[in-house]
Amino acid sequence: MSGGLLVAGTTSDAGKSVVTAGICRWLVRRGVKVAPFKAQNMSLNSFVTREGAEIGRAQAMQAQACRVEPTALMNPVLLKPGSDQSSQVVLMGRPVGELSARGYHGGRQQQLLGTVLDCLAELRGTYDAVICEGAGSPAEINLRRTDIVNMGIARNARPRLPVLVVGDIDRGGVFASFFGTVALLSREDQELVAGFLVNKFRGDVSLLEPGLDMLHGLTGRRTYGVLPFRHGLGIDEEDGMAVSLRGTVRESNVAPPVGEDVLRVAVCALPLMSNFTDVDALAAEPGVVVRFVDRPEELADADLVVVPGTRGTVRALQWLRESGLADVLVRRAADGRPVLGVCGGFQILGERIEDDVESRAGQVDGLGVLPVRVRFAREKTLTRPVGEALGEPVEGYEIHHGVADVTGGETFLDGCRVGAVWGTHWHSSLESDGFRRAFLREVAAAAGRRFVPAPDTSFAALREEQLDRLGDLIEEHADTDALWRLIESGAPQGLPFIPPGAPA
């Protein structure tokens, strides 16, 4: 068997990543050997595979849902935005240059189609089924000519991929979105669109059913399931383009704190913030409240401030100074109040940054609270380090151009610590349970909080529970028999054409 499915969406953030992961987990529980695939991903949340390749964090999460090791084959093209107009292109896990949106869609994207199809074919030759995720909407008619991630991959794959369109009903207008998506596709593309999946539904499904029946009558395509809205799924997010997440609180464990106090964590919502999923392990701890901030006054009651990674270190440093957050961070360091810098955040806390690669700004003064000098190298560091800190084993991954020269302080992972300020390039170190608890005890002591980490929180177990919840959603609320036939046999024959179709 070489089954496959493309999970497309009516819009960005319709739930494609979650639905793909849910289908993968449902299949693997049925004994199917399955792998995820996303031909082209645009995200600042990325991950390093064991062979040292950089891929989208969402595909790493989907691989975990499949219970397989992630590889570069699962996300051959990754675009990492550096501005509204350009992105770093990562091909097969390695950066190959910066391109403007016009340059990428003007020809470079189509040149990558062969690589993408080869990766998909290799996966399909290895696994029983490959569940592919689209990007944005398949009905982006301005980009269809060079598309390699939606209908372009569905039609060029051998055998061709059936397409399931996901719509977020919580946004409203889902029926119009479903109909319009199909009606804007060419006749050849429409032949592969098998049907729909409603996501994030609240309420009584019986009230929705007349609309689903009418949608079937209008399009000749069935709805494969209605997934209910679920709070606290806590899976890795793909979109790193948000300039500010102020007011957003990371959903955390509902269990009460073990000690007498909660611990408040404020994350600076830097421009081009990357790998902000690093704080998910903190949010999973009972009694830890994590929020994103972009105003100085919002740091006043924070017990810990996290300066996260960013695709634009010098730009983020300038933003911190302009917003007044930089002054607060320097005062916090002087007062012995906890600050953690990760990757770009670590570089920002240092004394000096020499950047002729990312921003080409040359030499720039950092905040000067850690004895670190950073020089940006053209070659990107992509590693999966393992070590020890605070008496506990730690593992993580590194994705950065900046090379740090640490000239003082106490050793902390690959970085250093001075007082209550810590800095490291290691992403996901806080997912190591013993280390996370030891770190939070140090933070609580420095902050004067009677907070006690829970003794038995396992982040890996919580992640598995969340993935099982996604699998449950598919198993309980989708027509799994029909979904399996779709994966195994492809789109039904004789699906009607819905005019007007794509413009010439």
Catalytic residues: 343, 427
Give yes or no for a contact between 274 and 46, defined as CB atoms under 8 angstroms apart: yes
Give yes or no for a contact between 233 and 466, defined as CB atoms under 8 angstroms apart: yes
What whole-number distance in Å separates Cα of residue 5 and Cα of residue 160?
Answer: 9
Neighbours of 61 (CB within 10 A): 27
Residue 365 CA: distances (Å) to CA of 296, 306, 371 = 20, 20, 12
Picking from 340, 502, 356, the residue whose alpha carbon sits closest to that of residue 421 is 340
What whole-number distance in Å separates Cα of residue 400 and Cα of residue 381?
Answer: 5
Give yes or no for a contact between 474 and 22, defined as CB atoms under 8 angstroms apart: yes
Give the torsion sign (CA, 60, 61, 62, 65). Answer: positive
Neighbours of 395 (CB within 10 A): 14
130 φ/ψ angles, rounded to the nearest 5 degrees: -125, 120
Residue 399 CA: distances (Å) to CA of 343, 370, 383, 406 = 8, 20, 7, 18
3-state secondary structure of 7: strand
What whole-number distance in Å separates Cα of residue 365 and Cα of residue 161?
Answer: 52
3-state secondary structure 380-443: EEEECCEEEECCEEEECEEEEEEEEEECCCEEECCEEEECCEEEECCECHHHCHHHHHHHHHHH
Which element (helix H / strand E) includes 182? helix 174-183
3-state secondary structure of 173: coil
Neighbours of 202 (CB within 10 A): 8
What whole-number distance in Å separates Cα of residue 106 and Cα of residue 108?
Answer: 6
